[in-house]
Amino acid sequence: MKPGTDRTRQMGAMSPALTLPLLLVVGLVTTACLSWRGLKPPETPVSTEPVVVKSDAEWRKLLTPMQYTVLREKGTERAFTGEYTDTTTLGTYSCAGCGAELFLSDAKFHSGCGWPSFFQPLDDARLTQIVDESHGMTRTEVTCRRCGGHLGHVFDDGPPPTHLRFCINSASIKLLPSEKR
């Protein structure tokens, strides 16, 4: 029997004319259900930053061994050993891999966790959040959207107004001091 005949349609093949309307209905029902339960569908911020792509050899040449371990291999520095853990200098923290500006010092707070902590990024579109189920736990990994470098993790135990704690490795960021507040 030839494809496209009535028998093929009876066996489960869907007409292309029905596919789009069906997808729209499923999307509307999903959004309505989330709305009814007080939930919002996840929003994906859009970044206009150009993506940085380098070979492994280029990253190794550009970064210190600790920066490479953290940014490219998803490692972490030991607690309370990072350069910016207790820093109160005013400025902007940028990605050590690509220079994308990520956090302002005004959003930095002392959480006592052993790593620099921020309650909000400079712009949500500059970060990517990924479910991380490594080491027998579920966390949310934070990476630089521009270069894909591992920065740290975000938790929901931070201070107001966001109640978030972006726990970031010092090795993954660089402080660009500013003289003004």
Q: Which residues are known catalytic residues?
A: 167
> In which residue are the tokens 């902007």 written?
92
> How does DSSP assign 92-127, residue by residue?
EEEETTT--EEEEGGGEE--SSSS-EESS-S-GGGE
Listed residue (116, 23, 132, 131) closest to 77, CA to CA: 116
Residues in the chain: 181
Q: Identify the residue whose tokens are 């790593």.
A: 115
3-state SS of the chain: helix, strand, coil percent to 5?
30, 20, 50
Quick one: tokens of 80?
A: 């309370």
Q: Which residues of 72-97 are buried (b: 16+ CB within 10 A; e: fewer)?
A: beeebbeeeebebbebeeebbbbbbb
